[in-house]
Amino acid sequence: MDIGVLALQGDFSEHFQVLQTLSVSARLVRLPGDLSGLDGLIIPGGESTTIGKLAAAYDLIEPLRQFGREHAIWGTCAGAIFLSKDARRDQPLLELMDIRVERNAFGRQVDSFEINLDVPFFKDGIEHPYHAIFIRAPIISAVDRDARTLLTLPDGRIVAAQQGKLLATSFHPELTPDTRFHAYFLDLARS
Ligand code: GLN
């Protein structure tokens, strides 16, 4: 299996390293041709406006949309925003997932925080909660049509959603040693 990591801006090297830890063949993606032969793609956290503008400048928007209609894509944080159909601002989006996001939803004072979340769809996700890191994170404020909610904070706000092979998480699994979310995505890419 070959997994790409979109390497325009943000923490792509952390995702790349996790894939290497898991012995997955990984490739950095910067040009449309880099997508060929991949089974899945990770879009990292960073700054979603910058990622979108660079993707437009490198003629990647349409190739990424085409790729996402057939293959698995996982967006973390800024990557989740880029996957959405609506970020309530004027910025380039892939519009692949039927989700709406609120950028920087946690405000200045608590714009970064960490929390343990129960993840019922992990085999041991209740006994061993998932330690999630949020950095100037978005909230998924609406999940429509074919998308579904995967995970919420204790107060009910949505922080992960899935639509077929497309996955969006508000938090940063690449910044923890826990590889369960990467394993979950690899299963999607394999399916
Ligand atoms: N605040 C960033 C944005 O709106 C996302 C932050 C992140 O990816 N950690 O694009």
* 51-79: pLDDT as tens digits: 999 999 999 999 999 999 999 999 999 99
Please count the structural domains in the chain. Answer: 1
The one catalytic residue in 15, 71, 77, 102 is: 77
Q: Does the pLDDT at position 106 exceed 90?
A: no
Q: Evaluate: CB of 45 within 6 angstroms of ligand 1.
A: yes
The residue behind tokens 């006994």 is 127
Mean pLDDT of 75-93: 97
Is residue 65 within 8 A of residue 84, CB to CB? The reply is no
- Closest to 21 (Cα-Cα) out of 187, 185, 183, 190: 183
**Is the CB of residue 182 below 6 angstroms from any atom belonging to ligand 1?**
no
Residue 109: the pLDDT is 64
Strand ranges in the chain using DSSP code E only, listed in sequence order: 2-6, 25-29, 40-43, 72-76, 84-86, 97-102, 112-117, 130-135, 139-143, 148-152, 158-163, 166-169
Contact call for residues 166 and 96 (beta carbons, < 8 A) = yes
Angle, helices 12-21 vs 180-190, to 10°: value is 80
Helix ranges (DSSP H) in the chain? 12-21, 48-57, 61-70, 78-83, 180-190
pTM: 0.96
Instruction: Report the separation in Å between the CA atom of 80 and the middle of ligand 1, taken as the mean of its atom positions.
Output: 9
Among the listed residues 15, 102, 174, 182, the single catalytic one is 174
Give the tokens for residue 84.
Answer: 């959405």
Q: In this predicted structure, what is the pLDDT of residue 63?
A: 98
Domain housing 44? 2-190
- What rounded mean pLDDT belongs to the chain? 95
Q: Which of 75-79, 107-111, 151-155, 186-190 has the lowest mean pLDDT?
A: 107-111
- Mean pLDDT (whole number) for 108-134: 88
Asked whether the predicted pLDDT for residue 108 surpasses 80, the reply is no
CATH value at residue 146: 3.40.50.880
Q: Residue 111: its pLDDT value, please?
A: 80
pLDDT of residue 77: 97
Residue 154 predicted with pLDDT over 80:
yes
